[in-house]
């Protein structure tokens, strides 16, 4: 039982901005991060898109959300919305 609880705590979390909410119960989230260039050492800003499950269809474009890794829900969906951090203005 203890190992199950420890494994649950290792799930990845990302913060990002909602780009699209046109799909039913699914949003597209853009998460920004910085990565060090392997040769030059400069930090480069990169963006990755994730499809996340939004059970109540409550996210709108421009919202800042926190998403968490979960089991595969569809062909491309492996993340779910944990909370809406900030609403779009």
Separation between Cα atoms, residue 11 and residue 22, nearest integer Å: 27
Q: How many domains does the chain have?
A: 1
Q: For residue 2, is it within any domain? A: no
* Residue 22 resides in a domain: yes
Q: In the prediction, which pLDDT does 89 show?
A: 86
Residue 73 φ/ψ region, left for φ over 0, alpha for ψ in the -120 to 50 degree band, beta for the rest = alpha
pLDDT digits (tens, 9 = 90+) for 18-39: 999 999 999 999 999 999 999 9
pLDDT(4) > 80 = no
Structural domain span for residue 28: 12-86
pTM, to two decimals: 0.83
Residue 5: inside a domain, yes or no?
no
**CA distance linking residue 86 with residue 48, whole number of Å:** 20
CATH number at residue 33: 2.40.50.140
How many angstroms separate the most distant Cα atoms in the chain? 47
């Amino acid at each position: 039982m203890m190992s199950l609880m420890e494994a649950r705590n290792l799930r990845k979390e990302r913060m990002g901005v909602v780009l699209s909410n046109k799909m039913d119960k699914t949003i597209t989230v853009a998460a920004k991060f910085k990565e060090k260039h392997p040769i030059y050492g400069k930090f480069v800003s990169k963006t990755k898109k994730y499809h996340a499950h939004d059970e109540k269809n409550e996210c709108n474009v421009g919202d800042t959300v926190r998403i968490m890794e979960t089991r595969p829900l569809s062909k491309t969906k492996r993340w779910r919305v944990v909370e809406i951090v900030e609403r779009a203005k």
